[in-house]
């Protein structure tokens, strides 16, 4: 199906995209906007970070855009575009045909094609196989007319887009056997767009789920993080679970299914984890992942039945499990440390009788930079368990966190330093200076009012006599 693009949609196209269309058309090459850019136009949004498909081979694209770069075997040329004081990268890929997918991710062989239809047939989903570009008549005669753009839809992508459906192009089993990552991408699209997955396509995912182990941890992580960053992350992980993909990617998480909890908990571990993710207020995908995994240790440590069931030390075991998962999906060292920290210390107590020292220990364990993330995890945990978002004890705890952080946390926060000790005692540098500062710090930790310079200078001499 070919449709002339209506004026209201044409107005949404950035001048930089018009420039790409014009450059290729005047040289007689077909050029089309494809993928997310087309979907944005159908949503009446301006496309950004645009992708294109073209009949021009890579070497011709490089001639048209001298500042472009090309360092892959798949015909994709990157073009830096300066737009509204920010730089975007437009990716332009030559029509291609592929065959052989030994590693279940990349084609063994790639050849350039002159056929748009052949190129679109290899696309994964119908909503990704629609293109927008100059009408073929203009291209044929190398004439540029920015009044005439057409939308080409060979696989009923518009229908699926309107019906909010993710459907594989052609045979789903063949598409997923070619590239196993497409299975997670289908779920990612559904999660990002709020779409459902067509029945036959979902069956293809279930049938091919074991193939996902062929995909590198980095690739899986990138797709999982896109699901976690979406507006419907819990829906995405529900689909991962019901499709069998989660069992392959994070079997530790699926073990919570059917594990009932006691006392105030009204859901099994899996449902609670899923709802905690749903209600977690953090936008950071790593914090959302920690929220999803925070009770991963419960199935391992579960003891007893009914109201007597316990999960002692589940946060310790959960931290170990999350570390293994994090390594598997190739988190960075910094990301892994944060994930483990949030899960290890999420079982904190909010008690109005807690001492300042206890609050300080909590802050040291969690890290000042992670406090808000830990509180966001707690909110998700509470709402995911059927409780209210907060309580007076949690609000009091938040106040204590602020108040205690105003107190000294390190020797360097004292109102005196090593130079003051040496001057007061008339001594040279040595171990005794450190011991005196430690003693002063212990006093101030117990009573913040003592962190006054006159008092500490007086105490230096008194402590020296006791050492």
Q: pLDDT 10s digit of each residue in the chain, 467 long?
A: 888 888 899 999 999 999 999 999 989 899 999 999 999 999 999 998 899 999 999 999 999 999 998 876 667 899 998 887 788 999 999 998 765 556 555 555 667 888 999 999 988 999 999 999 998 766 666 666 667 789 999 999 999 999 999 999 999 999 999 899 999 999 999 999 999 999 999 999 999 999 999 999 999 999 999 999 999 999 999 999 999 999 999 999 999 999 999 877 889 999 999 999 999 999 999 999 999 999 999 999 999 987 788 899 999 999 999 999 999 999 999 999 999 999 999 999 998 889 888 898 899 899 999 999 999 999 999 999 999 999 999 999 999 999 888 766 678 889 999 999 999 999 999 999 999 999 998 888 878 789 999 999 999 999 988 87
Region of residue 293 (left: phi > 0; alpha: psi -120 to 50; beta: else): alpha
List the domain boundaries for the chain: 2-160, 164-249, 260-406, 411-466
pTM: 0.84
> Residue 349 burial by CB count (10 A; 0-12/13-18/19+): exposed, middle or buried?
exposed
| Assigned fold of 2-160 | Beta Polymerase; domain 2 (3.30.460)
Q: How far apart are CA 249 and CA 225, in angstroms?
A: 13
Nearest-Å Rg of the Cα atoms of the chain is 30
- Cα angle 242, 246, 247 (rounded to 5 degrees) comes to 95
Residue 107, pLDDT score:
56
176: enclosing H helix or E strand: helix 172-178
Residue 90, pLDDT score:
95
CATH architecture of 164-249: Orthogonal Bundle (1.10)
- Cα angle 85, 90, 93 (rounded to 5 degrees) comes to 175
Cβ atoms of 255 and 234 closer than 8 Å:
no
> Phi/psi at 229 (nearest 5 deg)?
-80, -10
> Residue 243 burial by CB count (10 A; 0-12/13-18/19+): exposed, middle or buried?
buried
Yes or no: domain 260-406 corresponds to CATH 1.10.3210: yes
Residue 115 corresponds to which tokens in the numbers above?
């056929």
Q: How far apart are CA 432 and CA 464, in angstroms?
A: 8
Residue 298 has a CB neighbour count (10 Å cut-off) of: 24
In the 3-class helix/strand/coil scheme, how is 358-426 assigned residue by residue?
HHHHHHHHHCHHHHHHHHHHHHHHHHHCCCCCCCHHHHHHHHHHHHHHCCCCCHHHCCCCHHHHHHHHC
- Cα angle 186, 223, 170 (rounded to 5 degrees) comes to 25
Closest listed residue to residue 102, CA positions, set 177, 183, 208: 177
């Amino acid at each position: 199906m070919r449709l002339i693009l209506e004026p209201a949609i044409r107005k949404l196209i950035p001048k930089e995209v018009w420039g790409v269309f014009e450059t290729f058309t005047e040289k007689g090459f077909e050029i089309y906007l494809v993928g997310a850019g087309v979907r944005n136009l159908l949503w009446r949004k301006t496309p950004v970070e645009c992708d294109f498909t073209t009949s021009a081979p890579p070497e011709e694209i490089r001639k048209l855009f001298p500042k472009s770069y090309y360092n892959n075997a798949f015909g994709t040329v990157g073009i830096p575009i300066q737009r509204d004081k920010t730089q975007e990268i437009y990716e332009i890929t030559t029509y291609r045909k592929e065959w052989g997918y030994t590693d279940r991710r990349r084609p063994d062989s790639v050849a350039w094609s002159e056929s748009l239809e052949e190129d679109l047939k290899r696309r994964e989903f119908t909503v990704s196989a629609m293109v927008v570009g100059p009408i073929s008549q203009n291209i044929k005669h190398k004439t540029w007319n920015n009044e005439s753009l057409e939308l080409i839809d060979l696989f009923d992508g518009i229908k699926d887009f309107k019906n909010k459906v993710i459907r594989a192009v052609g045979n789903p089993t063949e598409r997923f056997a070619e590239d196993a990552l497409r299975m997670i991408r289908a779920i990612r699209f559904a999660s990002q767009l709020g779409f459902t997955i067509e029945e036959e396509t979902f069956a293809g995912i279930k049938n091919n789920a074991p193939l996902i182990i062929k995909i590198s941890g980095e690739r899986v992580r990138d797709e999982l993080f896109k699901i976690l960053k979406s507006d419907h992350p819990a829906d995405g992980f529900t689909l991962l679970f019901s499709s069998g993909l989660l069992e392959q990617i994070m079997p530790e998480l699926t073990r919570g299914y059917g594990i009932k909890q006691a006392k105030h908990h009204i859901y099994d571990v899996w449902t609670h984890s899923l709802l905690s993710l749903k209600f977690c207020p953090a936008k950071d995908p790593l914090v959302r992942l920690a929220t999803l995994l925070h009770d991963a240790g419960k199935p391992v440590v579960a003891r007893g039945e009914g109201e007597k069931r316990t999960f002692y030390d589940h946060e310790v075991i959960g931290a170990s499990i999350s570390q293994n998962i994090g390594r598997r999906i190739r988190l960075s060292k910094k990301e892994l440390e944060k994930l483990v920290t949030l899960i290890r210390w999420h079982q904190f107590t909010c008690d109005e009788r807690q001492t300042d020292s206890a609050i300080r220990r909590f802050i040291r364990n969690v890290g000042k930079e992670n406090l808000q993330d830990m509180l966001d995890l707690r909110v998700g945990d509470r709402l995911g368990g059927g409780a209210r978002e907060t309580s007076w004890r949690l609000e009091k705890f938040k106040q204590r966190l602020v108040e205690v952080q105003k107190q000294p946390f390190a020797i360097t926060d004292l109102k005196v330093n090593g130079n003051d000790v040496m001057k007061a005692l008339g001594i040279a540098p040595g171990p005794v200076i450190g011991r005196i500062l430690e003693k002063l710090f212990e006093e101030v930790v117990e009573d913040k009012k003592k962190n006054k310079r006159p008092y500490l200078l007086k105490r230096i001499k008194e402590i020296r006599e006791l050492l």
